């Protein structure tokens, strides 16, 4: 029996951290309002709660227009349709992200082009974008991943130079600001998810924000079964789908948006304290500070683990040991999308992969993105945002647990444990 909980010792933390999602009387009242309203769906369009929320949400991110949709994946799909992505067009995406960033590109028979991530942010590396541009490239789809922004200054510059559209995947960035501008307001459209782990959640849900009335109209038509948009100044007609958000889901979003600045302030304080505790710890490196982020929106707190500085004990063992100490965290949280078991692309289902080629593009085999690999399989350690919504004592517990695991790291050498085996697998493939 060792000192670490994973080898039979006492866990450092037994009490739970802040639970997520959380709700207050405001959410209960809003739900009651829907319940008695007889208007539960998103039709007549727009629903009262969905409409009010979308307007406030857009304004909170310095955008003119907002539209709720039923998932973040659909938000990306609707945004791609709004900017006019057609079958066979190419869209530049980061290699290291959730599969839901890329799925919508394929779904509309466009072609995702993977670009590696910047090791300082784990977001799309703007320096590598231009070499991926071809005559078929129509858009760049950066993700503001974890706790950082993709370099929007560079991405917008490149997009302008090459006449490309930009969709920001802001599934991790609710309330985040870059140079004082809201996440999602800098590109042509921003796409958000309200899935249950996100910084604002309706269980499932999403939103699109934009400064263009025409894009808003296109999104509204597409997600409302092809009907005319509310303003219909541009008279777009398209085959659309029912991707509306229901009113029960919309109702719980408003109160959370009101609480977002307060949550952001708590997180800022606890994260500052956490980072002060993580200075000069061998084996741990913080992501470099980014002064252009003027409000942090950390869906996940992310740092780097360097096994070669910690007696070559792999990240899977370090993370599993931390989990057993009572600290929720993850290592293989994302992987290069094209390597993921959730990306079994069959070219027969996506005809554009074959167009104009002798053999279809083999998305699973044609890319090599070393930084995404390093983040996915060796370095990145993710902590869920709600751990930072409590007290500085909570984050002290995380730092203490890290210290404990590192001080007893040799206990992990050669250890076989289900938590370690699970950490070697992507999230979809783990044993429960
Ligand atoms: C980076 C990223 N993009 C897109 C999505 C898709 O959102 P949803 O799950 O709401 O469809 C998610 C969330 O799950 C995400 O994390």
Dump pLDDT digits (tens) for 391-402.
999 999 999 999
Q: Which of 96, 100, 149 to mutate to test the pocket of ligand 1 (most atoms within 8 A of CB)?
A: 100
The CA distance from 307 to 317, in Å, is 10
Q: Which of 68, 69, 72 to mutate to test the pocket of ligand 1 (most atoms within 8 A of CB)?
A: 72
On the CB side of 431, how many CA atoms lie within 13 Å of its CA?
Answer: 7
Q: Which of 69, 98, 298 to mutate to test the pocket of ligand 1 (most atoms within 8 A of CB)?
A: 98
Which atom number of ligand 1 is nearest to the Cα of residue 299?
16
Q: For each successive 10 residues of the chain (432 residues), what is the average pLDDT? A: 96 97 97 97 95 98 98 98 98 98 98 98 98 98 98 98 98 98 98 98 98 98 98 97 98 97 95 96 96 95 97 97 98 97 96 97 97 98 98 98 98 97 95 88
Cα-to-centroid distance, 393 and ligand 1 (Å): 31
CB-CB contact of 407 with 414 (8 Å): no
Predicted confidence at residue 432, as pLDDT, reads 85
The CA distance from 32 to 37, in Å, is 8
Terminal alpha carbon distance of the chain: 25
Which atom number of ligand 1 is nearest to the Cα of residue 195?
10
Length of the chain: 432
Cα-to-centroid distance, 231 and ligand 1 (Å): 29
Backbone angles phi, psi at 191, to 5 degrees: -120, 130
Calculate helix-pair angle for 392-407, 315-324, nearest 10 degrees.
Answer: 130
Cα-to-centroid distance, 165 and ligand 1 (Å): 20
Which atom number of ligand 1 is nearest to the Cα of residue 204?
10
Q: For 8-19, give one letter per residue: b (16+ CB within 10 A) or e.
A: ebeebbeeebee
DSSP state of 242: B
3-state helix, strand, coil in the chain (%, to 5): 40, 15, 45
User: In which element (H, E) is residue 266 found?
Assistant: helix 253-277
Predicted confidence at residue 287, as pLDDT, reads 98
Cα-to-centroid distance, 53 and ligand 1 (Å): 19
* Tokens 């094209």, located at residue: 338
CB-CB contact of 245 with 204 (8 Å): no
Cα-to-centroid distance, 171 and ligand 1 (Å): 5
Which atom number of ligand 1 is nearest to the Cα of residue 76?
4
Cα-to-centroid distance, 98 and ligand 1 (Å): 6
Paired residues of 166 in beta bridges: 140
Which atom number of ligand 1 is nearest to the Cα of residue 71?
10
Separation in Å, CA 197 to CA 19, 204, 238 = 11, 9, 33
Q: Which of 97, 123, 146, 195 to mutate to test the pocket of ligand 1 (most atoms within 8 A of CB)?
A: 195
* Tokens 């992969």, located at residue: 353
Predicted confidence at residue 1, as pLDDT, reads 84
CB-CB contact of 427 with 333 (8 Å): yes
Separation in Å, CA 48 to CA 33, 322, 361 = 10, 45, 45
Predicted confidence at residue 69, as pLDDT, reads 98
Q: Please, which residues have CB within 8 angstroms of residue 241's CB and are 6 or more apart in sequence?
A: 222, 223, 225
Separation in Å, CA 409 to CA 232, 412, 414 = 63, 6, 11
Which atom number of ligand 1 is nearest to the Cα of residue 205?
10
Cα-to-centroid distance, 322 and ligand 1 (Å): 26
Separation in Å, CA 9 to CA 1, 16, 57, 326 = 7, 18, 47, 12
CB-CB contact of 305 with 381 (8 Å): yes
Which atom number of ligand 1 is nearest to the Cα of residue 194?
10
The CA distance from 401 to 422, in Å, is 20
Cα-to-centroid distance, 191 and ligand 1 (Å): 9
Number of H helices, E strands in the chain: 12, 13
Name every protein residue with a CB atom under 6 angstroms from any ligand 1 atom.
71-73, 97-98, 100-101, 143, 169, 171-172, 193, 195, 206
Cα-to-centroid distance, 317 and ligand 1 (Å): 27
Cα-to-centroid distance, 259 and ligand 1 (Å): 22
CB-CB contact of 178 with 320 (8 Å): no
Residue of 177, 424, 194 lying closest to 314 (CA atoms): 424
């Amino acid at each position: 029996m060792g000192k670490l909980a994973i080898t039979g010792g006492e866990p450092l933390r037994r009490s739970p951290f802040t639970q997520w999602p959380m709700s207050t009387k405001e959410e209960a009242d809003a739900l009651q309002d829907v319940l008695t309203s007889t208007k539960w769906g998103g039709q007549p369009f727009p629903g009262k709660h969905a409409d009010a929320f979308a307007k406030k949400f857009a304004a909170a991110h310095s955008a003119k227009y907002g539209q709720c949709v039923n998932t973040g994946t659909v938000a990306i799909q609707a945004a791609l349709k709004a900017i006019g992505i057609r079958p066979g067009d190419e869209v530049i995406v980061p290699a290291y992200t959730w599969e839901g960033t890329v799925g919508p590109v394929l779904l509309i028979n466009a072609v995702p082009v993977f670009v590696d991530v910047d090791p300082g942010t784990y977001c799309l590396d703007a320096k590598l974008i231009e070499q991926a541009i071809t005559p078929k490239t129509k858009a760049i789809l950066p993700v503001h991943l974890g706790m950082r922004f993709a370099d929007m200054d560079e991405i917008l510059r490149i997009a302008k130079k090459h006449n490309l559209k930009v969709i920001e995947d802001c599934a991790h960035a609710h309330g985040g600001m870059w140079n004082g501008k809201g996440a999602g307001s800098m590109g042509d459209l921003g796409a958000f998810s309200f899935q249950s782990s996100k910084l604002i959640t309706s269980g499932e849900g999403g939103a699109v924000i934009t400064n263009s009335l025409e894009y808003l109209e296109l999104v509204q038509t597409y997600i409302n079964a092809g009907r005319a948009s509310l303003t219909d100044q541009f008279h777009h007609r398209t085959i659309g789908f029912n991707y509306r958000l229901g009113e029960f889901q919309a109702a719980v979003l408003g109160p959370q948006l009101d609480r977002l600045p307060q949550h952001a302030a708590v997180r800022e304080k606890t994260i500052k304290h956490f980072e002060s505790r993580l200075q000069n710890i061998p084996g741990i490196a913080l992501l470099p500070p980014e002064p252009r982020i003027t409000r942090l929106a950390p869906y996940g707190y992310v740092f780097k683990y360097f096994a070669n500085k910690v007696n070559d004990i792999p990240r899977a063992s370090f993370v599993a040991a931390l989990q057993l100490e009572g600290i929720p965290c993850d290592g293989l949280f994302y992987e290069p999308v094209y390597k993921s078991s959730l990306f079994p692309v069959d070219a027969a289902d996506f005809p554009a992969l074959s167009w104009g080629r002798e053999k279809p593009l083999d998305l699973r085999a044609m890319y090599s993105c070393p930084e995404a690999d390093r983040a996915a399989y060796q370095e990145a350690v993710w902590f869920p945002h709600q751990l930072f919504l409590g007290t500085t004592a909570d984050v002290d517990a995380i730092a203490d647990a890290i210290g404990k695991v590192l001080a007893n790291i040799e206990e992990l050498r050669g250890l076989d444990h289900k938590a370690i085996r699970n950490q070697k697998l992507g999230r979809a493939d783990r044993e429960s």
